[in-house]
A and B are shown apart, each in its own frame.
Chain A
Amino acid sequence: MLRLAPVATLLVFLAPIVAGLLSTALPAFGWFPALGGREFGFGIFARLFAQPGLGTSIALTLLTGILATALSLALALAFCAAAYGTNAFARAQRFLAPLLATPHAALAIGFAFLIAPSGWIARVISPELTGWTRPPDIATVQDPLGLAFVAGLMLKETPYLLLTLTAAIGQADLARSLATARMLGYGKFTAWAKVAIPRLYPQIRLPVYAVLAFALSNVDVALILAPTNPPTLSVMIVRWISDPHLDLFMPAAAAGLLQFALVVASIGAWRLGEIAIAHAARDWLTNGERGGEGRLRNASARAALTLLFALAIAALAALAMWSVAQSWRFPDALPDRWTSAHWLREMPSLAAPATTTLLVALSATAIALMLSVLCLENEVRSGKRASKALALLYAPLLIPQVSFLIGVQTLLVRLNLDGGFAALVWAHLLFVLPYVFLALADPWRALDPRYTRIASCLGASPWRVLFAVKIPLLLRPLSVAAAVGFAVSAALYLPTLFAGGGRWTSLTTEAVTLASGGDRRVLGVYAFAQAALPLIVYAAALAVPAILFRNRKGMA
């Protein structure tokens, strides 16, 4: 039974993704009888490429996606180089978990509240520094180059890469290598660049590709921060699919494949870039340049990360502020009157999406935890490291959501499953499972195997060992994995939209929908609620093992 766990897990996973991609491909190549498409060919692609603005949209997508990934990675690496081993590094760690638990959309909305011409930043510095008494007429959000979008992506992706770097640092024995380089006279920054990065990068390569795929194809942040005319490719696809006339459904499917091709090509290009950089750096690594103290570099890397974290926290504060602001005139730095009226008024309509968010996230997380535990338990009992096939778990993080969700949606409709709760949970599971497995795998494999042996020798069956020894001993990583899974699910936009068949709204879909409207007070309520829910769950997840084992020092 247990031996089937990895196989079953992969089936739950890959079969629908492959089926989804295929079923996106059929209409893209002309086959979609429901809309009269009965001929295979490239006609649909011809229609796609005739769409106005497509070229600009592709350029915007590539530019913003690659720029956001490169900047996030550069900042994360530079901060590690500047701060590893200092208190600043430890302090930054404390911000990672809450930032990662905050949904993209909430951060993006809060960020828009900050940087808009009438946003909080403009209010704080006006009129003293700017002379503005009315919001200036400049495009800071949805700017034509997509810079606000790039910055909005960085707010989430930099902490994520920093977290994966921290985990990679923990596995490699870096401290001694770095100390050796320092003793040989290398500056802090250069020692890191020459000794640590070549060893760390291979370990974070997959997460970097996941960031790249996400930056190139995400919809919710792009809807809020990216230019709209034309928008990024994924947003354009969603727009066409949501069009009630269905004229553009088949070109949208073709665009889904195009999006897939863009991501594959970008990852390929990124890989070539890695090889080129590694080649170019070969001599530099051993040329003996010590690089000096690099105080300026260190200071600017720290300052940049501090600024980024400050922006993220201020974004959340801006959401909270607007949700309780009664009147907030430009250019006042703060509202002059506060009220709970928005919350009270929205509470009834907030209840349904909040319940959906909670139920879907709890269900998907519970299933993901169960599958992960079974896979890991199978791995331990069979004594075999998970087959390479389990790496396929990461597929949903590398394939653009929109590319296979179009196909999944048509399949669900055909199977009459669209809009069902099960379909919704399953769509979330696709994205929750990889993160839960990632969060759980290392601690599970690191548990001292002698505990299991002792328990077996005391007569405990394998299942009793699992439930009475391993799960309690691993309760903390299990809780953290659950919180991660919950946060991932709560933040999902497109899977809810597509698998929910319009019947289910979550806090995320509501907040993103409201973001295109005007009322900052209502939007503040929804976006803050969206951000608060995973944070509360995260706090609870840390509290449970702490309370249960408050009298067990060995469990700290």
Chain B
Amino acid sequence: MTGLSLRDVTLRVADKYLLGPLSLDVAPGAVATIMGPSGSGKSSLLAYLCGTLDPAFAASGQATLDGVALAGLAPEKRRIGILFQDDLLFPHLSVAGNLAFAVPANAPDRQRRVDVALAEAELDGYGERDPATLSGGQRARVSLMRALLAEPRAILLDEPFSKLDAGLRDKMREFVFAHIRARQIPCLMVTHDEADAAAAGGYIMRL
């Protein structure tokens, strides 16, 4: 069975119930949206899937990706990409450096992959630039490209558009969802913006 699958996932913090039990299947190429107010544990759910959940939390239930249980896998072995509302480009690396960081070390054509990603982000020739000199929209595109270059088998979006200017948001949604569909990977988004969910056009779960 392919895609991302959650079965009765429940999160607790200090014996206090936080979220779940939650069951959900996201097929390759589909975008599922979880909507909920802040403090509802949305971000913690994504951290749980990434394997970076704070040890103060306790999780039960099961999550699988392409039929493989995620529990016990180190974050870097899960091949799950994540995007936050901040682009979180590494400020010490150039734009190309940020992209190259994500390309698997043994890939034969690392440089070409970086160039292709730059082109797809409409940032040809920006490789050596300092990320701090890019516009918000440019940085967001680099951030998505960086996540995709790591060849993730699923991608998680944590309020990904909430910090962008209103005018940029629609373009960026289109850009992100198009790339995710093109790669045929499952995507799980958490947000409190109805417009995000509508643009995703997939299953919507409300907490």
Q: Which B residues lie within 8 Å of A551 (CB)?
A: 130
Q: Are B133 and A553 in touch, CB under 8 angstroms? A: yes
Docked Cα-Cα span, A461 to B105, in Å, equals 12
Contact of A459 among B52, B79, B91 (CB under 8 A): B79
Any chain A CB within 8 A of the CB of B86?
Answer: yes
Q: Are B80 and A457 in touch, CB under 8 angstroms? A: yes
Q: Which B residues lie within 8 Å of A132 (CB)?
A: none
The B interface, classified by DSSP as helix, strand, loop or mixed, is loop
A457-B147, A458-B102, A458-B147 as given contacts; A555 in contact with B52, CB under 8 Å: no
A553-B132, A554-B91 as given contacts; A456 in contact with B75, CB under 8 Å: yes
Q: Are A554 and B50 in touch, CB under 8 angstroms? A: no
Any chain B CB within 8 A of the CB of A288?
Answer: no
Distance from A520 Cβ to chain B, minimum over Cβ atoms (Å): 48
Q: Are A453 and B50 in touch, CB under 8 angstroms? A: yes
Any chain A CB within 8 A of the CB of B34?
Answer: no
Q: Are A473 and B150 in touch, CB under 8 angstroms? A: no
Any chain B CB within 8 A of the CB of A549?
Answer: yes
Q: Are A456 and B50 in touch, CB under 8 angstroms? A: yes
Q: Are B56 and A383 in touch, CB under 8 angstroms? A: yes
Any chain A CB within 8 A of the CB of B206?
Answer: no
Q: Which B residues lie within 8 Å of A384 (CB)?
A: 55
Any chain A CB within 8 A of the CB of B88?
Answer: yes
Docked Cα-Cα span, A15 to B193, in Å, equals 58
Q: Which A residues lie within 8 Å of B126 (CB)?
A: none
Q: Which B residues lie within 8 Å of A468 (CB)?
A: 101
Docked Cα-Cα span, A453 to B133, in Å, equals 24
Any chain B CB within 8 A of the CB of A552?
Answer: yes
Q: Which among B81, B101, B149 has the greatest number of chain A C-beta atoms within 10 A?
A: B101
Q: Are A456 and B90 in touch, CB under 8 angstroms? A: no
Q: Are A554 and B86 in touch, CB under 8 angstroms? A: no
Q: Which A residues lie within 8 Å of B130 (CB)?
A: 551-554
Q: Which A residues lie within 8 Å of B147 (CB)?
A: 457-458
Docked Cα-Cα span, A454 to B152, in Å, equals 12
Docked Cα-Cα span, A177 to B131, in Å, equals 37
Docked Cα-Cα span, A472 to B93, in Å, equals 9
Considering the complex, give the chain B residue whose CB is closest to the CB of A472. B92
A457-B81, A458-B147 as given contacts; A555 in contact with B92, CB under 8 Å: yes
Q: Are A459 and B102 in touch, CB under 8 angstroms? A: yes
Any chain A CB within 8 A of the CB of B82?
Answer: yes
Q: Which among A456, A461, A555 has the greatest number of chain B C-beta atoms within 10 A?
A: A456
Distance from A3 Cβ to chain B, minimum over Cβ atoms (Å): 13
Q: Are B75 and A457 in touch, CB under 8 angstroms? A: yes
Q: Which A residues lie within 8 Å of B74 (CB)?
A: 456, 461-462
Docked Cα-Cα span, A384 to B146, in Å, equals 30
Docked Cα-Cα span, A340 to B115, in Å, equals 59
Q: Which A residues lie within 8 Å of B88 (CB)?
A: 448, 450-451, 454
Q: Are B146 and A458 in touch, CB under 8 angstroms? A: yes
Q: Which A residues lie within 8 Å of B172 (CB)?
A: none
Any chain B CB within 8 A of the CB of A412?
Answer: no
Any chain A CB within 8 A of the CB of B19?
Answer: no
Docked Cα-Cα span, A456 to B90, in Å, equals 13
Distance from A553 Cβ to chain B, minimum over Cβ atoms (Å): 4
Any chain A CB within 8 A of the CB of B67?
Answer: no
Q: Are B90 and A382 in touch, CB under 8 angstroms? A: no
The A interface, classified by DSSP as helix, strand, loop or mixed, is helix
Q: Are B131 and A453 in touch, CB under 8 angstroms? A: no
Docked Cα-Cα span, A254 to B93, in Å, equals 58
Any chain B CB within 8 A of the CB of A469?
Answer: yes
Considering the complex, give the chain B residue whose CB is closest to the CB of A548. B92
Number of B interface residues, CB 8 Å? 35
Docked Cα-Cα span, A284 to B85, in Å, equals 48
Docked Cα-Cα span, A450 to B82, in Å, equals 10
Considering the complex, give the chain A residue whose CB is closest to the CB of B92. A472
Contact of A554 among B55, B78, B79, B132 (CB under 8 A): B132
Q: Which B residues lie within 8 Å of A452 (CB)?
A: 52
Contact of A549 among B55, B75, B92, B131 (CB under 8 A): B92
Q: Are B150 and A459 in touch, CB under 8 angstroms? A: yes
Docked Cα-Cα span, A184 to B116, in Å, equals 62
Give chain A interface residues in 28-56, CB to chain B under 8 Å.
none
Q: Which among B51, B78, B79, B93 has the greatest number of chain A C-beta atoms within 10 A?
A: B93
Distance from A405 Cβ to chain B, minimum over Cβ atoms (Å): 41
Q: Are A552 and B92 in touch, CB under 8 angstroms? A: yes
Considering the complex, give the chain A residue whose CB is closest to the CB of B89. A554
Q: Which A residues lie within 8 Å of B146 (CB)?
A: 458
Q: Are A451 and B75 in touch, CB under 8 angstroms? A: no
Q: Which B residues lie within 8 Å of A451 (CB)?
A: 88, 90
Q: Which B residues lie within 8 Å of A554 (CB)?
A: 89, 91-92, 130-132
Considering the complex, give the chain B residue whose CB is closest to the CB of A475. B92
Any chain A CB within 8 A of the CB of B47?
Answer: yes
Q: Which B residues lie within 8 Å of A334 (CB)?
A: none
Q: Which B residues lie within 8 Å of A549 (CB)?
A: 92
Q: Are A453 and B47 in touch, CB under 8 angstroms? A: yes
Any chain A CB within 8 A of the CB of B109?
Answer: no
Q: Which B residues lie within 8 Å of A553 (CB)?
A: 91, 130, 132-133
Docked Cα-Cα span, A552 to B129, in Å, equals 9
A453-B50, A453-B52, A554-B131 as given contacts; A459 in contact with B104, CB under 8 Å: yes
Any chain A CB within 8 A of the CB of B203?
Answer: no
Give chain A interface residues in 426-465, CB to chain B under 8 Å.
448-462
Q: Are B91 and A458 in touch, CB under 8 angstroms? A: no
Docked Cα-Cα span, A460 to B75, in Å, equals 9
A384-B55, A473-B90, A551-B130 as given contacts; A457 in contact with B101, CB under 8 Å: no
Any chain A CB within 8 A of the CB of B76?
Answer: yes
Q: Are B84 and A461 in touch, CB under 8 angstroms? A: no
Docked Cα-Cα span, A449 to B196, in Å, equals 25
Q: Are A552 and B84 in touch, CB under 8 angstroms? A: no
Docked Cα-Cα span, A462 to B75, in Å, equals 9
Q: Are A458 and B132 in touch, CB under 8 angstroms? A: no
CB-CB nearest 4 A-B residue pairs: A554-B91, A383-B55, A553-B132, A456-B75
A-B contact sample (10 more), CB < 8 A, given A384-B55, A555-B92:
A450-B88, A452-B52, A456-B50, A456-B76, A457-B75, A458-B102, A460-B101, A468-B101, A475-B92, A554-B131
CB<8 Å pairs between A and B, sample of 11: A448-B88, A456-B75, A457-B78, A457-B80, A458-B81, A458-B102, A459-B104, A552-B92, A553-B130, A554-B89, A554-B91
